[in-house]
Amino acid sequence: MESVAIKPEAAEAAATGRRRIPVGSEIHNGITEFLYDEARLLDQIKLKEWAELLDTDLVYTAPLRETRSLVDQAASVVRTVQHFHDNYRSIMGRVMRLTATKSAWAEDPPSRTRRLVTNVFVETTENANEFSVLSYLLVTRSRFNHDEYDLISGERHDIVRRTANGSFKLAKREIILDQAVLGTPNLAIFL
- CB-based contacts of 164, cutoff 8 Å, min separation 6: none
Other beta carbons within 10 angstroms of residue 62's beta carbon come to 20
What distances in angstroms separate CA 56 from CA 27, 51, 135, 163, one per listed residue? 22, 10, 22, 12
**Residues making up the chain, counted from first to last:** 191
Domain boundary assignment for the chain: 17-177
**17-177 maps to which CATH number?**
3.10.450.50
Peptide bond into 109 cis (omega under 30): yes
CA atoms within 13 A on the CB side of 150: 20
* Local confidence pLDDT in tens for the 191 residues of the chain: 555 555 555 555 556 678 999 999 999 999 999 999 999 999 999 999 999 999 999 999 999 999 889 998 888 898 998 999 999 999 999 999 989 887 777 788 889 999 999 999 999 999 999 999 999 999 999 988 878 889 999 999 999 999 999 999 999 999 999 998 887 878 889 99
- CB-based contacts of 25, cutoff 8 Å, min separation 6: none
- Nearest Cα to 141, choosing from 107, 91, 174, 170? 107
